[in-house]
Amino acid sequence: MLPAPTPIAAMPPTVLLLDPRGGGRNAHDLRSAGLHVVEVRDPQAADASLWLHQPSVIVARLDARTREQYLAWCRSLRTLQDGKHIPIVFTTERISQDDMRLTLDPGALVLAVRPADGAKVVAAIRGVLAVISDAPKSA
C-alpha cells in the first residue's frame, strides 16, 4: 500500500517586477516578505513573463527614460481579457501630478509608491493582494 501523498504547499503570489534597473532592493524586500518575484527590464520580457508566470500583481518602476514605454504597455495590458484584471503598482522617485492621475484610472487598482521605500512597497503589495483575494470572481 502506498503512503498518502504529502500536500504541496501553495505557491506564494507572484509579483512581476518591471524595472529598467533590475529589481534590486524591491525584489529583495518582496522575496523576504514571502512573495515569488519575477524580474524583467522591458515590456517585451514582461509580455513573455506575463503568460508564463501569471502574476497576481505587477510593479512597474517609472523613470524619465522608460515612463511612456511602460505606461503604454500597462494600457495595452488593460485591453486584454487575461490582463485587464491584474493590479498594477507604480513606483517612481518623484510622484508628479501625472502620476497621481494614474490612480484615477477606473479600470485598474493603481498606487504610486517611491521605490526606495521597501517597507511601503511591500505593504502596498500586501494590501493589493488582500483586496484581490477578497474580491468576487467575475467571468
Domains of the chain, CATH where assigned: 14-132 (3.40.50.2300)
Burial label for 88, CB within 10 Å (0-12, 13-18, 19+), is buried
Tell me the C-alpha distance between 57 and 89, whole Å. Answer: 8
Q: Is the pTM of this model over 0.85?
A: no
Tell me the C-alpha distance between 37 and 16, whole Å. Answer: 6
Q: Longest Cα pair distance anywhere in the chain, in angstroms?
A: 66
Q: Which of 22-26, 57-61, 92-96, 109-113 has the highest mean pLDDT?
A: 57-61
Kindly report the backbone phi and psi dihedral angles of residue 26, in degrees, each rounded to the nearest multiple of 5, phi listed first.
-60, -45
pLDDT in tens, 11-69: 899 999 999 888 788 899 999 999 999 999 999 999 989 889 999 999 988 888 888 89
Tell me the C-alpha distance between 119 and 4, whole Å. Answer: 41
